[in-house]
Amino acid sequence: MDIGLAFGLSFMALLVGAVQGIFIAYPLLLAMALFVGVLRRRGFALRALATMGWRGSQKALPVIGVLLIIGAVTASWMAAGTVPTLVYYGLQVVTPHSFVLVAFGLSSAVSLLLGTSFGTVGTVGVALMIMVAEGDSGFARHLVAGAIIAGAYVGDRASPMSSSALLIAAITRTDLYDNIRRMWRTSLLPLGLAIAIYAGFAGFAPVPLVESSLVADLAAEFRLGPVALLPAAVMVVLSLRRVPVQRAMAASTATAIALATAYQHYSIWQVLQYLLTGFHLEADSPLNAIVLGGGVAAMLQVSLLVVISTAFVGIFAETRLLHRLERSLENVKTPSDRLFATTLVGTLSAAFGCTQTIAILLTQQLLGPTYQRTHASPPALALDLENTVVVISPLIPWNIAGLVPATILGVNAGFIPFACYLYLLPLVSLVWLRGRSSPSKILDLPLSKQPVAELDRFKGDL
């Protein structure tokens, strides 16, 4: 009874926090306090619970450094004109009949480069929504918003700069670049279907556009051209050559800093300030509400959320609070059963935790022993997490993974039916596994021929 009450109150706190726009760390800390109170009544010492939380938070440490670098990369790409150039070129091909397809493609491209759904929505997403005329039913705005958010999670899932991809690689002890290769292998069909659907909307439901000076404003504010895309090119080339992601991002940031000073004519002190606090334009610029963001300071909040979430999950794991659910997973035996269980648990975790991070961590904690028991390799677990919980979280109306982008774009949960890629990916994966072939069986033989020691290390970590 006490655990059920704690779950209920925690869910309400997280839901209210998400809806009201309260920094999710506060309701999350309140939820942790509720569970600590319940566990204290059950005989656990406060010192022991703190130790459990500390051990759980250690999983976040490899990710935090990369998150801080991501903040610097995003700000430097803004200052170098990389993001404005991508938006500028993308908007050149927009027509009412192609708008939805361009919105999805442009959002996908930018998210793959930035690795962040929120950053993509806050830059190219806002720019695209500005061009959509208000309609009586709001259909066009929800359609475009769905395409933008779906595209934003193409990169949030499969970019080497994605915090979710980095987190999953860290907690499953797998190689990030190998994970990305597998993600692309399993996402080609859902991606193709999503493109076909958006092409259908583009042909039969043209989007009414308003007159916009955005293209001219970008050209007036920045020096645009192929040179400005060098930081993105550096990131792509080094990623393809499997350079460690920290080094690739550092090289891209250095290139962007050089361009920001020599090409965009910002002073070195301005650029350093942008790296720390985020890029912004002068208040009188017509783009000051669109081209902004990034910075190490912004990623400190994300890092804090990851630390609290991993501590929370560490307490859940060591106190066996969810042992009944773990026991119900003992009937899972086949790859299709594993993926179905991951989808179900991931959906519940995303609904309860209200954040993508908590959903990932809880699902991995609960399903990890099941994958070990059924002799599935760590890469199989990593891929199933990427194909389910990462893209399901934005489909939960109160989860900040979807709530924040929708708020930024000025729409409500009406975007969800049009975020095609987000539900096609888990659906196609489930149907594929139920059929003649099994992606998970293929994936149980890692591309990098991981040694048995890697699996043993994974078992030990569990």
pLDDT tens by residue, 381-412: 999 999 999 999 999 887 878 877 887 787 88
Contacts of 292 (CB under 8 A, 6+ apart): 78, 122, 278, 279, 280, 281
Q: Give the separation between CA 432 and CA 191, rounded to whole angstroms.
A: 15
pLDDT of residue 392: 94
Which residue shows structure tokens 């918003």? 145
Contact 293, 79 (CB under 8 A): no
pLDDT surpasses 60 at 454: no
* Phi, psi angles (nearest 5°) of residue 161: -100, 5
Collapse the DSSP code of 447 into the 3-class scheme (helix H, G, I; strand E, B; otherwise coil) and give the result. Answer: coil
Indicate whether 128 pLDDT > 80.
yes
Q: Would you say 355 and 310 are in contact if contact means Cβ atoms under 8 Å apart?
A: no
Rg (CA), the chain: 22
Highest average pLDDT, of 21-25, 268-272, 330-334, 365-369, comes from 268-272
Query: How far out from the chain centre does Cα 181 lie?
Result: 17
The pLDDT of residue 449 is above 70: no
What's the pLDDT score for residue 387? Answer: 93
User: Which secondary structure element, helix H or strand E, spans residue 448, and what is its range?
Assistant: none
Q: Are residues 230 and 252 in contact, defined by beta-carbon separation less than 8 angstroms?
A: no
The mean pLDDT of 5-29, rounded to a whole number, is 78
To the nearest whole percent, how much of the chain has pLDDT over 70? 87
The mean per-residue pLDDT over the stretch 171-200 comes to 92
User: What average pLDDT is seen over the chain?
Assistant: 81
Can you name the residues that pair with 209 across neighbouring β-strands? 132
At 324, the pLDDT band (50, 70, 90 cuts) reads low
> Which H or E run contains 193?
helix 176-204
Token readout for 15 is 């839901």
pLDDT band at 22 (very low <50, low <70, confident <90, very high): confident
CA distances from 245 to 41, 60, 66, 212, 249 (A): 45, 16, 8, 38, 6
* Whole-angstrom distance, CA of residue 50 vs CA of residue 78: 40
